[in-house]
């Protein structure tokens, strides 16, 4: 049975494809989820994709990941990246390998986007690759999980 990873998307990511396409592109959240499912399958894991505009729901899914023995998490916390100590604490608390991903290059944007509470709880962060960042995150996460299971 393949290992499961969670792909968690935070606030406003349901607007992908229509929200500021010059920054985020024209791909929709459905496109992201399709890419994640295909990539996960190609590396031998199963992706469960979820999106919420609510911080508490994201935290509940992170806790659920521990309870269900999920092997890894890919998270795009959206604006919560820059504000949520609670998401940081949840990720640290569950001790599940996590990759942070952002569609845009947050470091080429407003100064407030240059700080990430999530990055401190993740083993890797990706930004600026568009939705292809999810493919890279899942591929890297699968490699990390595989390496951990062999040691």
pTM recorded for the entire structure: 0.94
Q: Give the tens place of pLDDT for each residue, 84-104.
A: 999 999 999 999 999 999 998
CATH number of domain containing 136: 3.40.50.9100
Average pLDDT over residues 112-141: 93
Average pLDDT over residues 42-67: 98
pLDDT-derived band at 81 (thresholds 50, 70, 90) equals very high
Q: Between 150 and 44, where is the model more confident? A: 44
> Which residues form the domain of 119?
3-150
Our count of domains for the chain comes to 1
Catalytic residues: 24, 102
pLDDT-derived band at 1 (thresholds 50, 70, 90) equals low
What's residue 29's pLDDT? 97
DSSP per-residue codes, 22-85 = HHH-S--HHHHHHHHHHHHHHTTEEEEEEE-S-HHHHHHHHHHHHHTT--EEEEE-GGGGGT-H
Q: Are 91 and 75 in contact (CB under 8 A)?
A: yes
């Amino acid at each position: 049975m393949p290992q499961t990873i969670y792909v968690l998307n935070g606030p406003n990511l349901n607007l992908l494809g229509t929200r500021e396409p010059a920054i985020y592109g024209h791909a929709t959240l459905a496109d992201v989820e399709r890419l994640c499912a295909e990539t996960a399958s190609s590396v031998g894991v199963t992706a469960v994709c979820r999106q919420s505009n609510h911080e508490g729901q994201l935290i509940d899914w992170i806790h659920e990941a521990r309870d269900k023995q999920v092997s890894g998490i890919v998270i795009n916390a959206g604006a919560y990246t820059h504000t949520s100590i609670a998401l940081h604490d949840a990720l640290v608390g569950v001790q599940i390998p996590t990759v942070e991903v952002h569609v845009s290059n947050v470091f080429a944007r407003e100064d407030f986007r240059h700080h990430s509470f999530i990055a401190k709880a993740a083993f890797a962060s990706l930004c600026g690759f568009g939705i292809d960042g999810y493919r890279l995150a899942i591929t890297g996460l699968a490699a990390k999980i595989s390496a951990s299971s062999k040691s």
